[in-house]
Amino acid sequence: MSLQAITVKRATSQAPAGLIVTLHGWGANAEDVASLLPLINLPDYEFVLPNAPFPYPYSPVGMAWYDLRVENMYQGLAESRQLLTDFLESLESSTGIPLSRTILSGFSQGGAMTLDVGSKLPLAGLVVMSGYLHPDAIRAGKSGIPPTLITHGRYDEVVPVQAAWKARETLKSLGVAVEYHEFDMGHEIDPQTLEVLRNFVINTIG
C-alpha cells in the first residue's frame, strides 16, 4: 500500500525553488487542495498533494488519514503515519528536491499529520492550518523539529483555537521556531492564511 498523489510541476523547465507537500483534512481529497494552488501564487515551487489512504465514512469522494468517529477514534493513524513517512522519504528520488528544501503543510486532520510526521523528518519547515496535536505525537526533549507556522481561526467550531495554543506552547517549550497567526474566521483556509503561508515558504526556503 502506498499513497496516491497529484503532482503539480512548474510551468517552465527551470529547476523548482523547492517542494511543498500539502495534506488535506478529514473528508476532503487532493483535488480540493489543488483548487487552492492558483491563490497561493508560488509559481517557482513544485507541489505534491497526496490523498489519505482510507475512505471517508460519509462521502464516496472524501478520504481520511484515520477515523475520527468516537467509537473508532484514531483507528488507522499508525498505518497513515508509516505510509506518509515512507512517501516523504521517497520524494527526493522522485522529484530531485531534497527534504531540506521541502515544506510539509496540512489543514485540520492534515495539519495534525503534519505535526506528527513532520516533527521527525529533516524538512525545511512545517505549516499547520487549523490543526491539532495527536496525543504523544511529540515527545518531551525532542530536538531538531523544523521551523513551524501555525494558523487558526478564532471562531473555529471544528478544532477549537485552544488546540493551536497547545501546539504552539508544546513546540516553543522544545525550542522550535514557531510563527503563529490567529484570524477572525472559522474552520477554513482564507486568503490571509494563504498569504502568511506564502511568506513563510519564501522566508524559509528563500
pLDDT digit string (tens) for 49-78?
999 999 999 999 999 999 999 899 999 999
Share of the chain above pLDDT 70, in %: 99
Residue 49 identity (one-letter amino acid): L
Alpha-carbon gap, residue 179 to 19, rounded angstroms:
20
pLDDT at 206 over 80: no
Predicted local confidence at residue 55, as pLDDT: 95
DSSP conformational letter for 96: S
pLDDT digit string (tens) for 142-196?
778 999 999 999 999 999 999 999 999 999 999 999 999 999 999 999 999 999 9
Predicted local confidence at residue 11, as pLDDT: 78
Reported pTM? 0.95
- When pLDDT is cut at 50, 70 and 90, the band that residue 2 belongs to is confident
Alpha-carbon gap, residue 23 to 29, rounded angstroms:
8
pLDDT at 113 over 90: yes
Average pLDDT, the chain: 95
- When pLDDT is cut at 50, 70 and 90, the band that residue 13 belongs to is confident
pLDDT digit string (tens) for 85-96?
999 999 999 999
Predicted local confidence at residue 30, as pLDDT: 97
Query: Who has greater pLDDT, 10 or 18?
Result: 18
- Sign (positive/negative) of CA torsion 138, 139, 141, 143? negative
Alpha-carbon gap, residue 101 to 139, rounded angstroms:
25
pLDDT digit string (tens) for 125-140?
999 999 999 998 887 7
The angle formed by the CA atoms of residues 23, 30 and 152, to the nearest 5 degrees, is: 40
Written as nine digits, the cell of 26 is: 478529514
